Structure 1
Amino acid sequence: MNRWLYIIAVSCSAVTAVAHAAEQVDYVTQIKPLLAAKCYACHGALKQEGGLRLETRELMLQGGDSGSVLVLGKPEQSLALARITARGAERMPPLEEGVGLRPAEIDLLRAWIQQGAEAPAETTPADPGQHWAFQKPVRLPVPAVNKPGWSQNPIDAFLAAGHEKRGLAAVAPAARHVLLRRVYLDLVGLPPTPQQLQTFLADGEPDAFDKVVRDLLDRPQYGERWGRHWMDVWRYSDWYGLGAEVRTSHLHIWRWRDWIVQSLNENKPYDQMIVEMLAGDEIAPNDPATLRATGFLARNWYVFNRDKQLDDTIAHTSQAFLGLTIHCARCHDHKYDPIRQVDYYRMRAFFEPYQPRLDPVPGDTDINKNGLARVFDLYPEKPTYLFLRGNDKDPDQSRVIQPGVPDVLAFADLEITPIVLEPEVYHPDLQSFVLAEHVREAESQVQIAGAAVETAQRALQRARQAAGMDSPPEPLTARVAGEVFLADDFAQANGKLWEIGPGDWSHRDGNILQTQTGVTRSYLRTRAKHPADFTARLKVRVTGGGWRSVGLSFDVVKAHEKLVYLSAYAPDPKLQLMYNVGQGEVFPAGAHQQRAVDLNTAYELTVSVRGQLVNLAVNGEHALAYALPVPREAGRLDVITFDATAVFESLEVRELPPHATLVPVQPGETLATAEAALLVAQRSLAAATLRPTALRTAHAANRAKFDGSSQEMAKQLVRDAALGARNYELALAAETVARAQQKQTIAKPKDKPAVAKELAAAQANLKQARQALQQPGEKYTSVRVAVRAANGYGEKVAGDDTRRGPFPKVSTGRRTALARWIASTENPLTARVAVNHIWLRHFGQPLVESMADFGQRAERPVQQALLDWLAVELMENNWNMKHLHQLMVTSQAYQLGSSAVAAEASTRQADPQNASFWRRTPQRMESQVVRDSLLHLAGVLDDTIGGPAIAPDKEGEVFRRSLYFTHSRDKRGPFVSMFDDADVVLCYRRAESIVPQQALALSNSELALSMARRIASRLQENLGSSADEAFIEAAFETVLQVQPTREEVVACQEMLEKSVAVLARKQHPQPAVRARENLVQVLVNHNNFVTIR
């Protein structure tokens, strides 16, 4: 069977060969593309294996080390055909380079040789190293032009010279109102107000536009507008992952975003921005303001694969700053550019040591809540190996790759100087603010403990007074006349009084219902704190559930509370009081009463509190008196259910007046519990008082290891720290004993054996602590701060992923060397790439079409002389981007009209793509600009700058600028995502789109509707009772920054009249107002609103 298949295949090949022999093979369309795809990578201008090049017929005849590869008219004697048909190691292309030529392609090549290998004369391709972008830009003389007004700005002179050369005619300048809207949206991302428009139109001075430009560049909104542009280029992304697990980017990466905005507003030189982003931790290791910049690298972190992290870092460092696709050389030499595979790994070696980490910031040492995402060299000794075929599972460990750059760009030797770090950098615990934060927290605990002692002393005094009383007072069951704190009949929702917590709450029949069951707490919480001494009356019916518990919590502060509840749970219905000790819950026997609690029966639960004394009553009858053994806290009040459905009828809370008396507890119990509570408070205060000293001595001992202290001084400080630690440990042990004794006084009989065992263990620990104080030793607990250095993929670290340091004492200096090489004025690419990005965003299209690839596939730009002149201008003006902005937007070219209709037909035909910039290319607003403009025109835009990322689903509630909302792969604002938003994976140039969803967002979204109505309301307030025509003109001027034509006014008047009539028939309360709101909504949907002309 196989033999017959072989015969058939050979026969088919012979037939194909005969067919090709009968047809003339075309070299240009058939042979050259084939050789380019299969052979040029190893036998072209970039690389000449065996000394052979195959780009032209003459080079093939010339051959390489093995001689000519063509014998004209004799394919079977031609080395080229022999090698492509060979098997095993002799085959070309080699087996490891991929699939060889197909039989039909081999036959095509055979026929071409048989026909004499005819080909047109060709020039040998130039040396790739001579590619235009690899040559240092040169500032050519500004051309002299005859065009009036086009000689003052060099940009205009270069473009006008091109127009003259190509016979093109630029269109007329844009109308002044169009120009003002354009420059406002370009520089600050917000349209001008009618007042700003009128001021400009009334300014007839020659420098009127220049003044506007200077003003806009000085506004903080400039940094926000252009910050968002550079966030696109530099791939800004807030963290994303699975749930709370960070898998990509980093927590608190927003600090990098704020650094971008601030740097632009401060006009920080572009070269300095590059250095800070790539090596801020090396050039300013102690400066958090600079460390923020390294978020550029921290953003690339990927939890599952460090090789991907480094690959992204290489790819986007080279593309964003150099316009090079170095990452294409990971598996093999670059197919187009003179970049070898080893160059990829030399670039990787710059980044091999780095790893992101989270540092604490002053004011908050919890890095999960607040922190600084930055990078550092965690692996300074880690070698870089070349991955064979790019496979990270197959590293070539025979040689270590050293940091370096492609030879074609090696304009100077790289100077890599390791950087010795200060102790505070590699040992974050030594930072001064760390001690200050710990001491501040410790001293606040002293204040809290002191207040607890005072509270316990007052409680003990009252208990002693109560013990000496002849007879108890009458229970407090009648209504007292104290000041009302809260009175709610639950007839309707009252958001001013209550925060709604978990549960399923609803209103029915003048009551509030909670219908969620399950082993979970549901509650309503007062927004205000209740009085310290109060009486509360709650009317409630239990209707179902499992545990069937309902009641009131007071002193609610975070996870602490005192809870009083009724439970209709059938095996054990009861009235119970509960309080917290530490993280635990205590249900004291003395605060428990077994009693019937029936379903669907109304109960009035009364809770009266003065100091530590609590009285409980049910349906007006006194039930319990209990003295709290724990301190009171100033907190809020909860209405709760636990696994219960219930109907709440009313709640009244009054301040307890001084004359009202409460029922005391039994004197013996009061004294015992009060005395135990006081002892705990006193011991807690004693421990809290020693804590600041222990912290200070520990920090001093740690610092002495690094600050040059003498050996004897360092030893003494260690002894001091150890003594401070032993004293603190002794105080804690004494406090633990007191707490165990307190538990013993309130324990139920069945719990007493366990409590006694706990007390014995605490007393034994106290004895050990006293013995340790006699010989303190040298052990102490360092003052620590959480610092999280992300783990490498698969790396095992004890405990959690929090590396606390100390970290390496030296940073390699590699990234500093790379950054300075990129930012050098000798680098031919960096300034060109930056200029191209800025030009694109001002003129609507770039000078070099391939924004992130200036390699050989990037054709020489039509405006190369202009590009190079601007690149040199940027560098020679200290990389001043505001200078470049001003130069561009004050040019005549920038101020041209955008319509091609008025252009000469010959111009449109000669340059349909506008490569010579004979008009301004219209642009669609980016997503953020659409939303920000709506908020701005509505007068609600919050101009607060910076801060943590805002949840994207709040974009209709929080009126901050759009760049401050979370922007990641998984989380984007629903409104802005309808428009041309940035792709967080790759966005060197935003795509422009026109899709139905955008029209729907502007027509139907709550955000667009509400902003349109706010705009209309503002216009109505300013105009008063004006006629429709005045409103129409004001609406056009506000939304579109233009005066309507007469036809537009008439059409809008008709629309308003018809809308009013329809709305009136529908009995709308304000038909004229709603009609005008609808008109504004129509203008928001106008094409001229979302288009920058």
Structure 2
Amino acid sequence: MIDMNRRILSLLVLISAVTLAAPAQANPANRQAFVRYFGKYLAQGLNSCGTCHVRDHAEGAESLDDFPHNPFGNQLRETADKLLEQKQDADLALRLKLIADQDADGDGFTNLQEVLSGTAPGDKTKFPAADSKKKLEQLTAEFNEFQNRYAWKPFKPVHRPEVPVVADLNWPRNPIDQFIAAGHEQKGLKRAAEASPEVLLRRVYLDLIGLNPTPEEIRAFLEDAKTNDKAYEAVVDRLLNHPAYGERWGRHWMDVWRYSDWAGYKDALRVSQRHIWHWRDWIIESLNADKSYDQMLTEMLAADELKPDDWDTLRATGFLARNYHAERDQWMDDVVKHTSQTFLGITVGCAKCHDHMYDPIKQTEYYQMRAIFEPYHVRTDRVEGVLDVSKNGIPRAYDRSLTSKTWFLEAGDERRPVKDKSIPPGVPEFLGGKYEVEPVSLPLVASQPARREFVKQDLLDQAKETMEQAKAPEQRAAAESALAVLEAQFAIEAMEVAGDKKSDAWKTAAQNLVKLQREAAIEAAQWELTSAIKQEEQATTALKKAEKGKKKSSISKAKQQLKKAEQAHKAAETQLKKAEDAAKEKLTTKYSPRKQSKYPESSTGRRLAFARWLTNRQNPLTARVAMNHIWLRHFGQPIVPTVNEYGGNGREPTHPALLDWLAAEFMDRDWSMKEMHRLIVTSATYRMAGTGAPENHAIDPDNLFLWKKSARRMEGEIVRDNLLYIPGRLDAAMGGPDIDNHQAQDSRRKSIYLRHAHEKLVEFVQIFDGPSVSECYMRETSVQPHQALALANSKLTFLASEALASQIEEKTTGDMDAFIEEAYLRILSRRPDEVEHQLCREYLLASVKAEGSQPTRDQYEKLITVLFNHNDFVTIR
């Protein structure tokens, strides 16, 4: 039996491309759906293709004809056919439910009874034991209860579930709490009380802006809360409008969207692009402006098709520019793989070589999705004030080829393309929706970006500066001629854009431009000749000097330089003669146009169509995936544990109804992330303390049902940021080029602005489980000795302790008790308890030599260092 199952599974892998084309056929996705439907009630022996199929030959199946359905499989197939005839969904779970009470093999037991008892429902020779009736009744009741739970259907459009009614009507602050409370009641959990005001305030500060509240902010909040029951809500509103909100949540989304700075060396490009930081700044600015999530997705995928002349918005396509890879196939693999996991939470990349093993994604659909991105490439457009794109520029996506083909690859092998027919762009059919492509006409400044006004002005300014800096008369004359040519080129370009081409005015302008270009060529050649003559004279003088010195190596070098100078002199004379002869020819209208990059005048519209399909309300996954990420970063644990895998190989959510409700609410609130943050952090669930009833540990040891607020460790970025912020050393400047990662101990800028790329990581951040460059859909948290060593011995901690001790000592004017309290408030956002206060006093007084004297500055600094190494400093409680 085991051998047969192995052979059957091997066959299914080989024929999956065929079987997925027919919904009623067997395939790995159906098998996975079968397993998920029965869950823990499925016996191991029935987790097999043989549950629905038989083989005709003892040596094994060689084709689908040799691998027919057994009676149970036939029932499933026939039920699917009937549903499809009625234009209904042939979902396997529905089919299993419809035939549960039927007896496929005629052995006197229903299909459900046989599955629950672990006997084959399609084999009449195998049936439950005669004395198993009572046990089967119990199992059936339990299974029915299991099936009556909220149906998690991630591949179906989001429908807002009913908010559950709970016994305790006083606890919930909003519907989130009712979903959580329902779980408490079902599991018999006693939830924690509300967190203390100090703990709650620090929690929401770190969650929303990544910075500690100051002692002044803590005291103000505690005072306000005495008389204002909305004091906390007012804090939330203020934090959501704080500039640091965009930086804090920008880093979260940069994890998910795989932000990476340029990882090249010298002129080489290796993953990502130069100046990709423009995309990072766009992310931060968009979040602070509360740009809707659906709009952000659309702009990241297709800003060049949506707003082709808006250079601020074009920064968003850094999402696509970041995927750059020198190997085109690898590039396309990455963009398909990560776009699907990032926004849809499905592993389309698994279907490159064969039909997906767990989800109903055909191999052809992988190539359809690749075809969406096949035409695009990356370029760098100029920014105002900088003509050299190696120094600054906006890396952005554009469709380079409007006729690019996508070929089906046999077994995913790039060496074996099937070129009978190219694959059209498309999306996985099982997710529904309409993918409708319309080509996009682009404005002139998109296809010819050097036509933009600021670029023209920068070129004029450069030409004028060259003229003003000219030292020799010939050099100035050449610069003046070049400026005149440039101005004339701009003038004739304007005429042509206006449609005035081949008119008398145009012909006059064109002839004038030809005349100016000929004159400029003479002036440039004359300056080249003057320079060459001067260089020859200098080389001659250098040779004479070398000959006097009689050093052979110097003489040889001087002769070589003179030879080069003579050749340059001769070439300059030739060029001048050529320019003078050209100037004598009859004037024509064949002017030389300005050298500039030209790109296609239209775009395929494929990516814009994909973005619109992705953000349509009927798309089942986009809102669910986004809300799961947001929830994860507020609670330290996601609702769907596998944040980038919602398919058959993923894990089921802890609160499926809550996630669906959040997704529906998210879309109803116009995809506003700030609105959802506000809803979450003002909930009673979020406001719970971190400790609860001890008996809960036996019921839910991992706190999956949120009977308390689990503590979590700060990310490395905000550990570093607070080491700067708390002592007032942080430079709050926003945006700009990435800062060398080796400057992390000296730079006062936030961690989000430090370089993050392959082999160019901030060591301090990585010690605290910083994000992987390749992908980081959810960070792992570790506890390791070198984290404490880094925090105790880093230059950042030393400078923070020095600065903070000085500030607090000056503020408290020698009052040791006040110093201790202020230090706790600044670093841990709370006052010390009696034991902690006494321990601090004893430590400080241990250094005092004479009665009545004060602790030394060194002792105060060491106490500050100890508090920076306190577990409460690196923990969000």
Same fold (TM over 0.5): yes
Asked if the contact 1:149/1:892 (under 8 Å) is kept, the reply is no
Equivalent residue in structure 1 for 2:418, among 391, 396, 403? 396
Q: 1:826 to 1:1075 in 2, by over 3 A?
A: same
1:293-442 equivalent positions in 2, closer than 5 A: 293-303=316-326, 305-411=327-433, 413-442=434-463
Aligned to 1:83: 60
Over residues 621-677 of structure 1, what are the superposed CA-to-partner deviations in whole Å (9 max), with x where a residue is unaligned? Answer: xxxxxxxxxxxxxxxxxxxxxxxxxxxxxxxxxxxxxxxxxxxxxxxxxxxxxxxxx
Offset at residue 737 of structure 1 (A): 3.6
Structure 2: segments with no counterpart, 5+ residues: 35-41, 69-119, 130-135, 545-558
For 1:414-563, list aligned pairs within 5 A.
Answer: 414-449=435-470, 452=471
Quickly say closer, same or farther: Cα 1:92–1:142, change in 2 above 3 A. Answer: closer
Q: Give the whole-Å Cα distance in 2 for the aligned partners of 1:118 and 1:217.
A: 62
Match of 1:1037 among 808, 815, 825: 825
Counterpart contact for 1:271–1:879, Cα < 8 Å = yes
Deviation at 1:258, TM superposition (A): 0.3
Secondary structure of 2:280's counterpart equals: helix
Residue in 1 that maps onto 2:89: none
In structure 2, do the counterparts of structure 1 residues 270 and 67 end up closer, same or farther at CA, with 3 Å as the change threshold? closer
**Map of 1:292 onto structure 2:** 315
- Distance, in Å, in 2 between the alignment partners of 1:756 and 1:867 is 79
Whether the 8 Å CA contact 1:435–1:695 is kept in 2: the answer is no
TM-score under structure 2 length normalisation: 0.82
1:1076 Cα offset (Å): 0.9
1:1006-1025 counterparts in 2 under 5 A? Answer: 1006-1025=795-814
Higher-strand-fraction structure: 1
Aligned to 1:1092: 876
Instruction: Give the 3 Å change call, closer, same or farther, for CA 1070–435 of structure 1 in structure 2.
Output: farther
| Contact kept in structure 1, 2:845 and 2:855, CA below 8 Å | no
Q: Tell me if 1:903 matches 2:713.
A: no
Query: What one-letter code is carried by the residue in structure 1 that aligns with 2:807?
Result: R
Structure 1 residue 918: deviation in Å? 1.2
Match of 1:493 in 2: none
**Counterpart code for 2:56:** L
Q: Structure 1: which amino acid aligns with 2:371? A: A
Opposite residue 509 of structure 2, the aligned amino acid is: L
Matched-pair contact (CA < 8 Å) for 2:21–2:362: no
Structure 1 CA distance for aligned equivalents of residues 567 and 280 of structure 2: 57
Does the C-alpha gap of structure 1 residues 917 and 714 become closer, same or farther in structure 2, counting only changes over 3 Å?
farther
Confirm or deny that 1:206 pairs with 2:229. Answer: yes
Aligned AA for 1:1079? L
Q: Which one of the candidate residues 1072, 1077, 1080 is aligned to 2:861?
A: 1077
Q: 1:714 to 1:328 in 2, by over 3 A?
A: farther
Does the C-alpha gap of structure 1 residues 989 and 764 become closer, same or farther in structure 2, counting only changes over 3 Å? closer
Q: Secondary structure of the equivalent of 1:356?
A: strand
- Distance across 1 between alignment mates of 2:465 and 2:265: 37
Equivalent runs, 1:565-714 vs 2, <5 Å: 681-712=472-503, 713-714=505-506
CA contact (8 A) 1:68 1:79 kept: no
Question: Over residues 701-753 of structure 1, what are the superposed CA-to-partner deviations in whole Å (9 max), with x where a residue is unaligned?
Answer: 34544442232254443323222111111112232343355457664386899
Amino acid at match of 2:500: S
CA distance in 2, matches of 1:67, 1:978: 49
Deviation digits for residues 555-614 of structure 1, max 9, x if unmatched?
xxxxxxxxxxxxxxxxxxxxxxxxxxxxxxxxxxxxxxxxxxxxxxxxxxxxxxxxxxxx
Question: AA paired with 2:195?
Answer: A
Counterparts of residues 56-71 of structure 1 (less than 5 Å): 70=54
SS of the residue aligned with 2:395? strand
Distance 1:209 1:721, change over 3 A: same
Structure 2 CA distance, aligned partners of 1:1076 and 1:414? 65
What is the CA distance between 1:766 and its match in structure 2?
3.1
Do the aligned residues in 1 keep the contact of 2:329 with 2:414 (CA within 8 Å)?
yes
Question: How far off its partner does 1:758 sit?
Answer: 5.8
Q: Could you say which residue in structure 1 is the equivalent of 2:522?
A: 730
* SS of residue in 1 equivalent to 2:290: coil
TM-score (norm 1): 0.66
Instruction: Kindly report the root-mean-square deviation, in angstroms, between the aligned alpha carbons of the 2 structures.
Output: 3.5
- Tell me how far apart the structure 2 counterparts of residues 755 and 1031 of structure 1 sit (CA, whole Å): 75
**Which of 593, 602, 606 pairs up with 1:814?**
606
- Give the superposition deviation at 1:302: 0.8
CA distance in 1, matches of 2:591, 2:776: 52
Identify the residue that residue 14 of structure 1 maps to in structure 2: none
Structure 1 gaps of 5+ residues are 1-24, 71-77, 94-110, 453-680, 786-804
Instruction: Give the counterpart letter for 1:369 in structure 2.
Output: K
Matched residue, 2:679:
887
Paired AA for residue 399 in structure 2 = D
**Residues 331 and 391 in structure 1, CA contact (< 8 A), matched pair in contact too:** yes
* SS of match in other structure, 2:479: helix
SS at match of 1:982: coil
Percent pairwise identity: 40
SS at match of 1:711: coil
Does the C-alpha gap of structure 1 residues 968 and 760 become closer, same or farther in structure 2, counting only changes over 3 Å? closer
Match of 1:1003 among 792, 812, 820: 792
**What is the one-letter code of the residue matched to 2:805?**
A
Offset of 1:913 from its aligned partner? 2.3
Matched-pair contact (CA < 8 Å) for 2:844–2:855: no
- After superposition, residues 889-1038 of structure 1 pair within 5 angstroms as 889-899=681-691, 902-905=692-695, 907-1026=696-815, 1028-1038=816-826
Equivalent positions of 1:854-873 (< 5 A) are 854-873=646-665
Larger radius of gyration: 1
* Structure 2 counterpart of 1:313, one-letter code: V
More deviation in 815-824 or 45-54? 45-54
Q: Given the superposition, is the C-alpha separation of residues 80 and 1058 from structure 1 closer, same or farther in structure 2, using an over 3 Å criterion?
A: farther
Q: Which amino acid aligns with 1:830?
A: T
Matched-pair contact (CA < 8 Å) for 2:172–2:684 = no
| Cα shift at 1:405 | 1.2
Q: CA deviation at 1:150?
A: 2.9
Q: How far did 1:38 drift?
A: 6.6
* Structure-1 separation of matches of 2:502 and 2:522: 29
Q: 1:248 aligns with which of 271, 279, 283?
A: 271
How much has 1:819 moved relative to structure 2? 0.4
Distance 1:174 1:80 in 2: 67
The change in CA–CA distance for 1:1082 and 1:151 in structure 2 (over 3 A counts) is closer
Larger helix share, 1 or 2: 2
In 1, the alpha carbon distance for the partners of 2:25 and 2:683 equals 52
User: Does the CA contact (< 8 Å) of 1:213 and 1:886 recur in 2?
Assistant: yes
C-alpha contact 1:1040 1:1088 (8 A) present in aligned 2: yes
Amino acid across the alignment from 1:325: T
Counterpart amino acid of residue 135 in structure 1: K
Secondary structure, aligned partner of 2:59: helix
Paired AA for residue 1075 in structure 1: Q
Deviation at 1:278, TM superposition (A): 0.2
- Aligned pair in 2 of structure 1 residues 943, 41: CA closer, same or farther (>3 Å)? farther
Change (3 A) 1:716 1:422: farther
- 2:165 is paired with a residue of what secondary structure? coil
Alpha carbons 1:41, 1:335 under 8 Å: kept: no
**Alpha-carbon distance change, 184 to 695 in structure 1, aligned in 2, over 3 angstroms:** same
Q: Sort the Cα spacing of 1:152 and 1:117 in 2 relative to 1 into closer, same or farther, 3 A.
A: same
- The answer to whether the 8 A contact 1:42-1:48 is kept is no
How far does the alpha carbon of each residue in 1:285-331 deviate from its partner, in whole angstroms, 9 at most, with x for none?
Answer: 1111011000000000012x111111111111111111111111010
The yes-or-no answer on 1:215 pairing with 2:238 is: yes
Match of 1:281 in 2: 304
Question: C-alpha separation between the residues in 2 aligned to 1:1054 and 1:897?
Answer: 31
Instruction: Give the secondary structure class of the aligned counterpart of 2:377.
Output: strand
Cα distance in 1, alignment partners of residues 57 and 429 from structure 2: 31
State the Cα distance separating 1:765 from its structure 2 match. Answer: 3.6
Distance 1:1006 1:41, change over 3 A: same
Q: Does 1:180 align with 2:201?
A: yes
Q: Judging changes above 3 Å, is the alpha-carbon distance between structure 1 residues 1000 and 718 closer, same or farther for their aligned structure 2 residues?
A: same
Which segment drifts farther, 422-431 or 31-40? Answer: 31-40
Matched, 1:1048 2:836: yes
